[in-house]
């Protein structure tokens, strides 16, 4: 008898559970009247091109080295002792007209850089397979730089001028 009562109670709970499951399925797939009454809010799309503003900022020179924690030393204070760069204030002696003309050294111009605070450009010249950084008016050995352009430079040596085009 216990077995009969137990089976009937279990069948009753099984029917209740299946009734709940079928109810959930019919509510999910069925058309409910409540869903038709819900109002839909339209989504407004804003064009990002209409509110475009350019972000600008100034870069500042970093005074402190972030890795070492030391303050950077200005490169303008350092000078190499073996460089044959002569200040533009010094004048070279004029060679006599009877002297033998030396051939021009192998020169190539590689470009220039102009800083925001500086008034003259710093150019990179390769002379006899050595690179030199000089400014307009400076002298390198017996060659002086007269004018600097983006694509060329004008150099002068013993009253003889020459134009050197930028290397590619």
Q: Any idea where the domains of the chain sit in the sequence?
A: 85-91+102-165
- DSSP class per residue in 24-40: HHHHHHSPPHHHHHSPP
149 C-beta neighbours (distance < 10 Å), count: 13
Given the candidates 2.40.128, 1.10.10, 3.40.630, 2.30.30, the CATH classification of the domain at 85-91+102-165 is 2.30.30
Asked whether residue 125 carries a pLDDT value surpassing 60, the answer given is yes
User: Is a pLDDT exceeding 60 seen at residue 151?
Assistant: yes
pLDDT tens track for 31-76: 655 555 556 677 777 666 666 677 787 778 778 877 887 776 655 5
Full-model pTM: 0.39
In terms of Cβ atoms closer than 10 Å to its own Cβ (0-12, 13-18, 19+), residue 141 is: middle
User: Could you give the CA distance from residue 151 to residue 167 in angstroms, rounded to a whole number?
Assistant: 9
What is the pLDDT, as a whole number, of residue 39? 64
Q: Are 27 and 33 in contact (CB under 8 A)?
A: no
Residue 20: pLDDT over 90: yes
For residue 86, give every residue at least 6 positions away whose Cβ sits within 8 Å of its Cβ, in sequence order, or none.
92, 138, 139, 140
């Amino acid at each position: 008898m216990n077995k009969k009562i137990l089976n009937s109670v279990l069948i009753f709970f099984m029917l209740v559970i299946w009734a709940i499951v079928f109810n959930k399925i019919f509510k999910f797939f069925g058309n409910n009247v409540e869903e038709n009454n819900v109002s839909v809010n339209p989504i407004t799309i804003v064009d990002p091109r209409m509110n475009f503003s350019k972000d600008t900022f100034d870069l500042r020179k970093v005074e402190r080295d972030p890795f070492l924690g030391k303050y950077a030393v200005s490169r303008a204070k350092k000078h190499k002792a073996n460089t044959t760069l002569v200040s533009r204030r010094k004048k070279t002696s004029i060679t006599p007209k009877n002297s033998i003309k030396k051939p021009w050294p192998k020169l190539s111009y590689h470009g220039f850089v102009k800083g925001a605070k500086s008034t003259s450009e710093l150019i990179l010249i390769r002379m006899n397979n050595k690179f030199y950084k000089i400014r307009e008016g400076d002298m390198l050995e017996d060659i002086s730089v007269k004018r600097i352009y983006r694509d060329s430079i004008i150099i002068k040596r013993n009253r003889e001028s020459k134009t050197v085009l930028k290397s590619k």
